[in-house]
Amino acid sequence: MPRLNVFPIHRRKLGVVVTSIAAGLLLAQCGPKDKPPEEPAVEVPEAPVVTPVLPAATPPLTRGDLVSAAARAASSYVAGEVPSGSDPLVGRRIAVRLPFGCGGPKPAQAGPAIADGVARATWGRDRKSIQLSLTPGDWAESALIAGAGADVVWETVEGFWIPRPWLASDACPGVLRDPLQGGVAVPSPYTVGLAAVFPTGSSRVGQRNGRAYSYSIRAEGDQPLAPAADGYRLVLEGRVVGFPGGRAIRCRTASPDQRPVCIAAIQLDRVAFESATGDVLGQWR
């Protein structure tokens, strides 16, 4: 009986086992490798939000500003100086408050007791009302205006005086008239003013043509009408346009021993009567 050779079978199985192990090792080497540890995220700070700083609006010129500018212009004029360059006042806004009626309303009179271009407060009939009024002056033919060559530029020029140009405040004077001084105190001549100019061919809206700005304060019921202790305010708003030649203010005098009269040329946008506390009584635009 022939012998069976079993060893070749065992060798084949062993070869299969070895081959399987080798393939497993090879697959293990070809498998995915471990990922390197992730680095922590770096936080980038946000850029700060920068809010642009807008330039502050240039405030309008006040009574004190114009009085000071007129004093400098008067000094330059008397000294014979000829200004050069552009005038920084031209184009500036103005908001001028002029106190009036500080000593209380005056009795109504048949004729004007105060020059045109100056606000006044007068009693009405039986003191039942107080009349606030202002008639602009007609300055178109004045030597100061016509001498600037404005006759070919401006059709109408309406004037407003600034009383007490030595007082820069918008309030009534704090010094009262000395009762021991005899006679009637004569006010100094007006030397500082504003000329509201209207170019030739411009709209006539806003021109007064001799008509007064007027407002009546009336008593309520049977109550007596008490005048304001601090007077009233005339408000003039607009902007400086200047004279031909580019200067905001023009001065003129007959002698260096006399204080020059100095006028600023303006475009007038608003006229109003206010109380001393700022309450609008009447206004015109």
Bridge-based pairing state of the strands 137-138 and 261-275 = unpaired
Q: Provide the b/e sequence for 189-213 (b: ≥16 CB within 10 Å).
A: ebbbbbbbbbeeeeeeebbbeeeeb
Q: Is the pLDDT reported for residue 7 higher than 50?
A: no
All residues at 6 or more sequence positions from 170 whose CB lies less than 8 Å from its CB, including other chains: 62, 63, 64, 97, 98, 99, 233
Bridge-based pairing state of the strands 154-161 and 129-134 = unpaired
Whether 105 is covered by a domain: the verdict is: yes
Whether 122 is covered by a domain: the verdict is: yes
Whether 53 is covered by a domain: the verdict is: no
Q: Which domain holds residue 100?
A: 63-169+188-284
| pTM, two decimal places | 0.77
CB 112 within 8 A of CB 210: no
Q: Provide the b/e sequence for 237-275 (b: ≥16 CB within 10 Å).
A: bbbbbbbeeebbbbbbbeeeeebbbbbbbbebeebbbbe
Q: What is the pLDDT of residue 84?
A: 87
Q: Is the pLDDT reported for residue 178 higher than 80?
A: no
Max Cα separation, the chain? 174
What's the domain count of the chain?
1
Q: Which residue has the tokens 């004029």?
A: 77
pLDDT digits (tens, 9 = 90+) for 16-62: 444 555 555 554 555 555 556 666 666 767 777 777 776 678 999 99
pLDDT digits (tens, 9 = 90+) for 188-242: 999 999 999 998 877 777 778 889 999 999 988 777 888 888 999 999 999 999 9
Q: Can you tell me whether residue 106 is helix, strand or coil?
A: strand
Whether 46 is covered by a domain: the verdict is: no
Whether 177 is covered by a domain: the verdict is: no
Give the Cα separation of 18 and 161 in Å (integer). Answer: 121
Whether 226 is covered by a domain: the verdict is: yes
Whether 35 is covered by a domain: the verdict is: no
DSSP classification of residue 10: H
Whether 160 is covered by a domain: the verdict is: yes
